[in-house]
Structure 1
Amino acid sequence: MKRRLWLTSGHQAVLSVFGLVVVQALSATAQDTVRPTQGAEDRPKRAAASTDAIKDRPSSTPERREPEGVVAVLGERDRLWDVVRALAYSPDGSILASASDDGIVHLHDPVTGAHRSDLAERVEAGPRGRRRVTGAFFDLDFSPGGETLIAAGGDRSIRRWKTAGWSSLGPLAGHREGVFAARFAAKGRIASASDDQTVNLWDTETGKPAHKISLPGGYYSALDTSPDGSLVAVGSWDRAIRIYDSVSGTLVQTLREHEARPLALAFTPDGSRLASADAAGVIRLWNASAWVALRVAGGHEGAVLRLAFAPDGSTLASSGADGSVRLWEVTDDGSLSPRRTYTGHQGPVPALAFRPNGTGLASGGVDATVRIWDTRSEADPEVERPRPGVIVSAAYSPDGSTIATGDLAGFIRVWYAGTGRIRLSLPGHRGQVGTVAFSPDGRVLATGGSDGLVRLWDAETALPIASLQGHTDQVTALAFHPDGSRLASAGHDQTLQLWDLAKHQCLWKKPGHAGAITSVAFSPDGQSLATAGRDRFTRIWDAAEGRKRAEIPPDMGAEPESVGFSQDSAYVLAAGFGDGTVKLYEAATGQIAKEYGRHRGQTRDVGVARGGTVIVSTGEDGSVRIWDRTLGKNVGVLQLHAPRGTISRLAVSPRGDQVLTVNGDGTVFVVDLALSKPDLQQPDAEQ
């Protein structure tokens, strides 16, 4: 991979976390994205740059060779695995650290963003010599003196390193689920929040929790500690913000002004104020002594994902699901005045950090880039011209001859499944195209985007047919009725909608979940719909009237990502379970009928093949697993990737002879199951 600095008149540096890249290199074009599978000699190698402060570490990433059976690779691989989750500057400003789903902490030059070193890879030995990343990183924090760096991990632990020499201090382990936030608190303690619905206050001397706080509001949604470390602010799913004493663990105050889940918290550098932001895009500023709300602001389209104050406290930065980074001027009375907006990321921006001297702001996104903005410049940043980008959704045509994909840049492409060559390419949405689906006769292609629109296209000519406007937020899931007369859509606005495709009118609209809906599927008989949502429920609906028939309640570690029906419409398949299983439920009652397991880590997607006798699943472990539905037996494992989080979606071809996987590196693999037999491992070796 080439590492080149790319600066615009807006003074931004753009980098992948493996190093600097020209932004155009992250984007696919019709000329350079259609690639047959290649041997190791054609794959770029990563190299770590030597610096005085950080010793070179040999790269453990092997030259890439696709597994046997991968007959085509759609899209351009030239980027980090998955989302950039967290950023942190060292207190002296000498290092910028980033972390993501690839399970690596990357260290960069704080000004240019140039890659310095990979601090660590969280790996363990796998079967047959394969290496596997054991968890993603979700948060980073330096100690106040800069002596220690901590990272919150999806493997239920907190990792610690001494910055002098970067030696490991050993993990803190005690949570029952993934750790999604970790910050330093008073007396050297560490506050952490987990999906096990607890906040731990760790004694770093003993390596054990001094206090374990059970969150009365259920699941954690945001966390920050005050600059002096005395307070821990925690946002929860019940829309409340709770303030705890970091030494005693006692509750100090509960704040309840938000009408949506608070997703971001940040104290001012002097600790006098607390900023909070929620899933509805509302930003609030609080007095941190009297705990009264000062002012309210809004500007993002959708959720605010991260907040950060400039070192002098005069500027607040916010980043959102709309892909923008916004600067707000903070006045003495607590008012927030819009100062400027940066638009460069392709997709949501979950990571922000100010440089300690206030001259730069780093942002990290789901497009796997980190951007460094010069906040001193008042010049308008140069906006990139849209071009095809990172693929996030894919679907087979009914005859299996073509594959449609949607990407973070809003482009829709149709590829020949046999050769991987592009047939059609067009800009379709403002923002990412999170879902695509073909009609049963293959004549219509439906797409859903972050602009809230459902668009219908002629699949042969790519001419637009209609634009269906009913959602108020990102459209995340689409499903055609088996007879092609209706289309179900669902999204971040938590609604399920059914459309008449002859009249292009909404037949009904229902509040489907208390969170974003991630998946929707019609039963083969057309009588039922199944949905999965971020509220951790799976629901089954009457397709004609939109009446709820059955409900599958959540269990610990479950966050349904995908649902589908058996061929006889009697059962619902669901993936998204932290225990690595795929579950089969009775469609009539919602009762569990069978469990298939297990992947290492969360399952992500599931499909059926060969007349419904075979179930195909994928998960965070980067594998595709094949199950005998009747016996519940795992009959094959195809290990496509070693790192976690590298396969987000799959689809089975209509003939059942191929599987496509949407990968975390922005590509799609087309896998011929017959040709992949050499790479199909015996299940016993994997379990």
Structure 2
Amino acid sequence: MIFESGSERLKKLRTSACALKTCMERYSDVFQAFPEYGLENLLPRLDRNDGVSSETIAAIEALLRGEERLTLLSGSIERGKPVLKTFRDSDCVNHFAVIGQDRALSASDDKTLKLWDLTTGETLKVLEGHSYAVKQVAVIGEDRAISASWDNTIRLWELTTGKTLKVLKSFSKIVYHIVVIGQNRALSASDDNTLRLWDLTTGETLKALEGHSAKVTQITDLGNDRAISASHDKTLRLWNLTTGETLKVLEGHSDWVNQVAVIGEDRAISASHDKTLRLWDLSTGGTLKVLEGHSDWVNQVAVVGEDRAISASHDKTLRLWDLLTGETLKVLEGHYDAVFQVAAAGQNCAISASDDATLRLWDLTTGETLKVLEGHTSLITHIDVIGEDRALSASGDKTLRLWDLTTGETLKATEGHSERVNHIDVIGEDRALSASLDNTLRLWDLTTGETLKVLAGHSHWVNHVAIIGEDRALSASQDNTLRLWDLTTGETLKILEGHSKGVGHVAVVSQHRALSASQDNTLRLWDLTTGETLKVLEGHSEPVNHVAIIGEDRALSASWDKMLRLWDLTTGETLKVLEGHSEPVNHVAIISENRAISASWDNTLRLWDLTTGGTLKVLEGHSKNVYQVAILGQDRALSASWDKTLRLWDLKTGETLKILKGHFGAVYQVAIIGHNHALSASEDNTLRLWDLTSGETVSLVFTEFGDHTALGKNDNFIVAAGMRNRVLKIVV
């Protein structure tokens, strides 16, 4: 096992350990059956000569053995999770603006903005209109806001109604940053190298500010109709907003200027890719001080009073600077990855955000860490301090978190599943039900993204769920039981007991019957009215992975014993044993009353004649395990494989029609949309929408769901869910 250097190596070690532990737990029967893949034989593969400390290896081993959690951060810092509220979005939260003491407006990659109540954690409004990711937002008074999007537009919003007041569009490229100038003007920075001054009353451009030769990354309002901009052209520009003219060009940096902060009326400080900060005299445009000390990019700077500043760097440190002398007062060390964000909290504290997914509260007098704020699971994109004792952070993990900087206490638990989602099923047009490793199911409102009900009762993982009509569902769990749920109340109607091992899959036969597949090598036919077993279907010699229903009285099961079995549900007898695969069978799909197709670990699919039990075609082409197969009409099928590809098959000839390439990780899930599109989910953390006519990718979504994504569908859309508490509705 090869790992990258430094913190990346440590993070990958932890991720690998956690993933391996989950896999070994979930498929304990398999690891028992194949001891060569067991823990004792896997641990030696962790290379102790690859620069990884023996303490880290010992911690990983302890985690794999279930003895303790792996902690990568060292020292005796307080490690509580002082979260007041968690606000869950449906995608990466890029930026937010605080409104007063109790509201915030967030901008997300899901193309929307959300207005949040910081007291309750509830969504007050969802602002829809942008056609691409929203990257930044600024508030105008109490009831208006302006947003910048990668759809090349700016939108002016009324927060009371959530409606768009104006669409400001005059760009050929992405809008990166906006600031509000007074009540009726705004200034934007774009990838087209310009700034634009807008009249928010009319939506028209007042001035186009030209002069930069590369994209403008950030702008700051100086008051008195002046602004300063930072650019990738290595310069800053001081602008007269009345005339649109450049007042000063501030030159000196030898690489991109990432950010600028203003000190009083006549000074500014900039942070650059050249590893330095520069203190500027805005009257002359000259450099007052060059602040050197960082060993990598300086990402951001915050001003502390009149004479100090604190910088955040890619070198994993922050530096507190004396602006009178240009000297470093303190080097703040503790983060184990790049520091992207910093905000001052009063005169003697600051809060930082790092790519290590933590925030740190610092004492600027001593340079010591006061608190490590842990809870985010991805890059923190923005932080802001609210009053004296609170901070709000936004993250790529799709959440905002409100932190108590004083007590370190959690006042409200996070919302959403706390573990991976194994399966999701769609109910009508606006609801979905998910099954998770956190032992619960969640009923979701697909319009708002909110949880309607939490269905708790299972004592182990929930592996699968099937919907019965509009108001009932049946779940299959690793606790050896199934539960029949009332979706109106969230209550358990029946507990179906009988299996002696985990139940991996369930299929609905009718309104009053269901069939379950278990790791105890059997299937059970259930009466949902009484909760009793009608039939025990025995014959497989290994765990049953999947089952598909054929009409009212037959079913086809796929097993680790390398076989499929066709069952008569009236008698419980085996009608046919379908033999041919040389490895376990993962999945089966019904094409018609007399044909089915299976996907196997032997890298093949097989087309079966259910009348004779014989193989009609062997579909060869994949180079690794075929995990799933989906049907397109009577004559085509689409398979998903660990070889990172999908294949579109002609079932008449058994030939490959298209090889769909693009994923760089194993493909676990595939769902058909209409006649010519499909959506695939991969361990590379992406969803890909495919045009099956051309075999090309139509759209790509980075999910950060982790190595497993569940797909549920109806005739009009697909819902995806994964391990990051996110439910994504995809409409084609």
Q: TM-score range by the shorter chain?
A: 0.3 to 0.5
Larger radius of gyration: 2
TM-score, L = length of structure 1: 0.42
Q: Which is bigger in relative contact order (C-alpha 8 A, separation at least 6)?
A: 1
Q: TM-score, normalised by structure 2?
A: 0.40
